[in-house]
Amino acid sequence: MRSRWLPGWRGEDSAATRVSIGGKVDDVSETTNVVRFPLRGRSAIRSAIGPSRNPGGYEFTEGELAALCRWFSAMKYAFPGTEGVMVVSHQEGYSAVGLYHPARGVPNCLVAKHEVGGSARFFWSTEVDPPRPIDDLREITDAHIRAIQPPRNEKGWLDPTGWMGVYTSRTIATELQVV
């Protein structure tokens, strides 16, 4: 069944108006574990789906994903043509988002969340600098957004569709890869 954040959803929210994908569905549930991004009512959604399965872990939280969406969008606004890539490695215990421009090389940066000794740590790096620890993801995302100074009306620059493309095409590494 199509969820609200997939193409083709037009605001219909009853079982009768939902489109089925993958076969005949006799009984449609009114509840789902798929939530729309970016999240608006995090506490209500969190209570509906239960406690986090990754408290303090290496996977980005809903709030961090929302901040990454704004960062990606602002960077695309400042540097048209910017693309993003996301990797989650369960083997190595990290998640990372890289932004790059295929033609210009600017921006070329990476923010990562790595679980070290049972707690999550953030790292920031550029093409020319080694990764350095940062206290909080927003230390980078908010600073870049302030420096870019996008219009106050986010409709002109926020790109949740582009971000969802990065998020849904992320690489998830579950096994050790030998090169």
Per residue in 81-127, pLDDT (tens digit) is: 999 999 999 888 999 999 999 888 778 999 999 998 888 999 999 98
Phi, psi values for residue 48, rounded to 5°? -75, -35
Spell out the alpha helix ranges (H) of 23-178: 42-49, 62-78, 138-148, 160-168
* DSSP secondary structure code for residue 4 in this structure: T
Phi, psi values for residue 143, rounded to 5°? -65, -40
* Per-residue pLDDT at 152: 92
Extended beta strands in the chain, E state: 83-89, 94-100, 108-116, 119-126, 132-134, 171-173
Distances in Å between the Cα of 143 and the Cα atoms of 109, 129, 138 are 14, 18, 7
| Cβ contacts of 93-97, under 8 Å, gap ≥ 24 | 93/57, 93/58, 94/58, 95/58, 95/59, 95/60, 97/60, 97/68, 97/72, 97/166
Token pair recorded at residue 10: 């037009």
Domain limits, the chain: 62-173
Cα-to-chain-centroid distance, residue 60: 7
Counting as low any pLDDT under 70, the low residues of the chain are: 1-56, 175-179
Spell out the alpha helix ranges (H) of 38-178: 42-49, 62-78, 138-148, 160-168
State how beta strands 171-173 and 83-89 pair: parallel
* Per-residue pLDDT at 11: 39
